Amino acid sequence: MKIRARHQLRKSQSKDMIRQIGQVLTDAKTTLANKKLEMAVTDEYELLLVEGEPLFFIIDGEPFFTVKGALKLNPDKMVVTVDAGAIPFVVKGADVMKPGIVSADPGIKEGDLVVVTEETHGKALAVGRALVPGDQMTVGSGKAIKTVHIVGDKLWNLQV
């Protein structure tokens, strides 16, 4: 995957993007203020580069963390934590099953994008779309998250 086009955002566009990111990152204003924000287009994704790093990608018109972005910025919202037994499956791209989930943000609604982290160190492993609300992710069995992006995939390995 290669970047086909890239441009720096205007100040008004940057403010709007930071406002949108504030929905998933509490301290977005302080973290991203005075940073160089660029939009980049690849064959598959539209990316938001922060100081040249692909920390967010645009899905359904909204910015959300890439795995690198989640590792760097440590989100406090839209986070689902899995146990050690689920890690090998998640990093290979498997969807996340309910029995492997230790905790989930209760504010997650069905269809929301979420960051999947591991229990021991809290490191991000994947980004996915919630198939059930957050309060139902730790109960019962079945799929809870459809994986969209993982550590080691094309987006992770993108050279900017």
Question: pTM for this one?
Answer: 0.92
Q: Examine the domain organization and report whether 115 and 87 are in the same domain.
A: yes
Query: How does the average pLDDT of the chain come out, rounded?
Result: 92
Average pLDDT over residues 3-26: 90
Q: Examine the domain organization and report whether 67 and 84 are in the same domain.
A: no
Q: Is residue 64 in a domain?
A: yes
Structure tokens at 10: 């205007």
Q: Which of 71, 81, 83 is nearest to 134 (CA)?
A: 81
pLDDT over 80 at 160, yes or no? no
Determine the Cα angle at 147 with ends 141 and 149, to 5°: 160
Residue 63 CA to residue 49 CA, distance in Å, equals: 11
Average pLDDT over residues 71-94: 94
Q: Which domain holds residue 52?
A: 3-73
> Which pLDDT value is given to residue 91?
94
> Which pLDDT value is given to residue 3?
86
Q: Examine the domain organization and report whether 42 and 12 are in the same domain.
A: yes
> Which pLDDT value is given to residue 137?
95
Residue 55 CA to residue 107 CA, distance in Å, equals: 22
Q: Residue 62: which CATH number?
A: 3.10.450.120
